[in-house]
A = this chain, B = another copy of it.
C-alpha cells in the first residue's frame, strides 16, 4: 500500500500516512490537537484545517462557506489523504500557540501480535492434531481374506509406519462400503494422540483422495461474545471467522448471574442449550462462508472461563460462586463433539481448554498457551482485562495467577455515558490545554453516543497529566471553561454538547465515573502487585507485558500507565494478543505441541485467591489514586509532572 507524507503546521509534525487515511485520526496519532466534538461525523464543524500544499479528498461540508472552501479550508474529520499534503491547524490566538511547545506524550499502542505460521513450520511445530493419509489398498481375494479393518490398519502400519491405531465403531460402520466405493482407494483421517506413544485414532474414512481437505474449528466461549474460526489444517490459515453474542446474555450479563440462572430448575440444561445454539450458529456461519464440507471438519478446540466451560459441558457451576469456590474440574477429557450437542460430524472430538480455578479459566490457559508465555525465558505479566481481570505472572519455569473483580468500568459499566466499544463510542481524545476544548474521535466517525474503555482511559490520563483532574480524580474547579460544571452535586467535564451527539443529552465524564475507573484500575494494579509480592517480586521485575481481551487493542499504553493501570514499562515490551483465548484455541489446532504441554502447564500454575491474601487490601487502597499513592512506582510520569510543574 502506498503512503503519503502529511505535515501538520504550525506544529511542524510530519507523519507517514497510509493512502486513504482519515486526516483527523492522523492528527491524533501525531499528537496534534484539533478541536472536535462530534466524533468525526462533520456536524460540529470545529475541526477546520487549511490544506496548504497538495489536496485532500472530501473534507467539504455545509459547515464551510464557499469562500472557506476556496481558501483551502476543510473539515479534518471528513478529509481523506490520497497524496502528500501540508495541513495547517488554525491557531486563533497567541494563547493557543503556546501549547505548541508542550512536550506531548507520544501515543503508544501495544505491538499487536501476529501469529507466525512460517516460524512454526520452521521449528517443526506445525503439527495439526488431525492428518489425512491417502491409501491404495490391495483388494481382498481368495488368497487374502483380511477383514476390512485389519486390511486398512495393516496397510497403514506397513506402508505409512503408523502404529497403535484405534478404529472406533462409527468408522468401522463406514469402512466396508467406503473401501469398495472407489476400488479400495481411500483417505483415512488420523487423529493424533495428545501424548506421543499413545494411540492414534482413525476417525474417518472417505473414498478417493481427500487429503487436501482437512479443517478444524477454534472457538472462544466468552461470557458476552463467542468467536469461531475455521482453520485450514493444510495451509494453517484461518479461512473464515465469525463472532456472535453468547445467547446466554438474556440470562444475565456476568458469570455470577449466569450461575444463579443455572441454579433454577432446568436452568443448567437451558443455559447449556443456549450456548450450544450460539456455537452451532457460528459453526454454520463460518462453514457457509468458506464453502467447506462438514465432513472435512475434523477437530474443534474450545476455550472459555470456568463458568462458561462448565455451562458448555453441562457441569453444574453452583459451587463456583460459593465459598470455598471450587470448580468441578481443571482438566476435561476429550469429548465427542456430538455428545455435548455440537453440530459437527460424529467423528469430531472436542478439546476443551483446562481451567486453573473457579475464576481463572480455560480462556486464560488458552492465552498462556497461544501467546507462548509458557515458553518465555523472561518474566512476563499476562493481563486479560474485562469485568474480571485475570493476572498471570511467570515464565517457562513457574507461573502464578489470580483473578480480581475490576468491575465493568472498562466495558463502559458504572460510567454514566459508558458503553462498549461500538459505533459512536469516543475511543480517542485530546484536549486543548489552554481552551480545554476537546478532540473526540469515535468508532465509525459518527457523532458520539458515549465513551468506551480505551476512550475513558485516554480522557482521564489526559485530564490528569494536564492537571484538569488531580490525583484523587477530582476536577480542578478553577479552570476557565464552561465544560467543567457541577451537576447533581458532582463535578463533570462535558465532552460533547447535546447538539454534537446522537443522544438527547450532553455527554460528560463525572467524578463518580472517574472514581469507578480508579477503583477498577486500582483493583488490577494492586492485584498484580499482590501476586508479585506473593512470589517475592515487584512490578520492577517485569520484563514483558502481554495484554489480552477485547479491551486492550485500542488502549494507549502510555495513558494506561499514566492512570496507574499498567506498571511503567517500555511500550516495545508490551504485546497485545487481542482475543488470546481464541488464539490459544487456534494454536492448539495447528500444533499438537500445545495440546501436549497444556496439562503440564496448567498443573504448574499456582492460583492465589486475592480476597484471602491480607496484603491485597492495603495495596488496593494505595492504588486508589492517579496513578498511585506512591508516585515513585511511576518514575517517568513523575519526571514529566515535575517538568511541567517547573514550566
A residues near B, CB below 8 A?
140-142, 144-151, 166-169, 172-173, 175-177, 180, 313-316, 318-319, 323-333, 335, 339-340, 355, 357, 607, 609, 612
Query: Considering the chains assembled together, what is the distance between the CA atoms of A595 and B609 in angstroms?
Result: 47
Query: Considering the chains assembled together, what is the distance between the CA atoms of A140 and B609 in angstroms?
Result: 14
Query: B173 touching A330 by the CB < 8 A rule?
Result: no
Query: B328 touching A147 by the CB < 8 A rule?
Result: yes
Q: A169-B340, A340-B169 are in contact. Are A175 and B328 (CB under 8 A)?
A: yes
Query: A172 touching B328 by the CB < 8 A rule?
Result: yes
Query: B328 touching A148 by the CB < 8 A rule?
Result: yes
Query: B145 touching A329 by the CB < 8 A rule?
Result: no
> Chain B residues with Cβ under 8 A from A314's Cβ?
173
Closest to A167 in B: B333
> Chain B residues with Cβ under 8 A from A313's Cβ?
169, 172-173
Closest to A170 in B: B339
Query: B149 touching A329 by the CB < 8 A rule?
Result: yes
Query: Considering the chains assembled together, what is the distance between the CA atoms of A355 and B166 in angstroms?
Result: 17
CB proximity of A96 to chain B, nearest CB, Å? 59
CB proximity of A225 to chain B, nearest CB, Å? 25
Query: Considering the chains assembled together, what is the distance between the CA atoms of A148 and B612 in angstroms?
Result: 20
Query: Considering the chains assembled together, what is the distance between the CA atoms of A330 and B176 in angstroms?
Result: 13
> Chain B residues with Cβ under 8 A from A166's Cβ?
333
Q: Which one, B145, B172, B609, contacts A326 given CB within 8 A?
A: B145
Q: A177-B316, A316-B177 are in contact. Are A172 and B141 (CB under 8 A)?
A: no
Query: B324 touching A172 by the CB < 8 A rule?
Result: no
Closest to A149 in B: B329
Query: Considering the chains assembled together, what is the distance between the CA atoms of A142 and B612 in angstroms?
Result: 8
Query: Considering the chains assembled together, what is the distance between the CA atoms of A38 and B326 in angstroms?
Result: 77
Q: Which one, B144, B326, B335, contacts A146 given CB within 8 A?
A: B326
Query: Considering the chains assembled together, what is the distance between the CA atoms of A327 and B147 in angstroms?
Result: 5
> Chain B residues with Cβ under 8 A from A339's Cβ?
169
Pairs A-B, 4 closest by C-beta atoms: A149-B329, A147-B327, A176-B328, A140-B326
Q: A145-B609, A355-B147, A612-B142 are in contact. Are A172 and B332 (CB under 8 A)?
A: yes
Query: Considering the chains assembled together, what is the distance between the CA atoms of A373 and B331 in angstroms?
Result: 44
Beyond the given A140-B326, A150-B329, A169-B339, please list 8 additional residue pairs across the A-B interface where CB-CB is below 8 A. A140-B324, A148-B328, A149-B330, A151-B326, A166-B333, A169-B315, A172-B315, A173-B313
> Chain B residues with Cβ under 8 A from A150's Cβ?
329-330
Query: Considering the chains assembled together, what is the distance between the CA atoms of A213 and B332 in angstroms?
Result: 28
Closest to A325 in B: B145
Query: Considering the chains assembled together, what is the distance between the CA atoms of A326 and B137 in angstroms?
Result: 15
Query: Considering the chains assembled together, what is the distance between the CA atoms of A324 and B145 in angstroms?
Result: 7
Query: B177 touching A329 by the CB < 8 A rule?
Result: no
> Chain B residues with Cβ under 8 A from A331's Cβ?
149
CB proximity of A286 to chain B, nearest CB, Å? 25
Query: B316 touching A173 by the CB < 8 A rule?
Result: yes
Query: A323 touching B142 by the CB < 8 A rule?
Result: yes
Query: Considering the chains assembled together, what is the distance between the CA atoms of A332 and B148 in angstroms?
Result: 12
A-B contact pairs, 18 of them (CB 8 A): A145-B326, A147-B355, A148-B319, A148-B328, A149-B329, A150-B330, A151-B326, A168-B333, A169-B313, A169-B315, A169-B335, A169-B339, A172-B315, A173-B313, A173-B316, A176-B318, A176-B319, A176-B328
Query: Considering the chains assembled together, what is the distance between the CA atoms of A180 and B319 in angstroms?
Result: 10
Closest to A609 in B: B145
Query: Considering the chains assembled together, what is the distance between the CA atoms of A151 and B355 in angstroms?
Result: 15
> Chain B residues with Cβ under 8 A from A167's Cβ?
329, 333
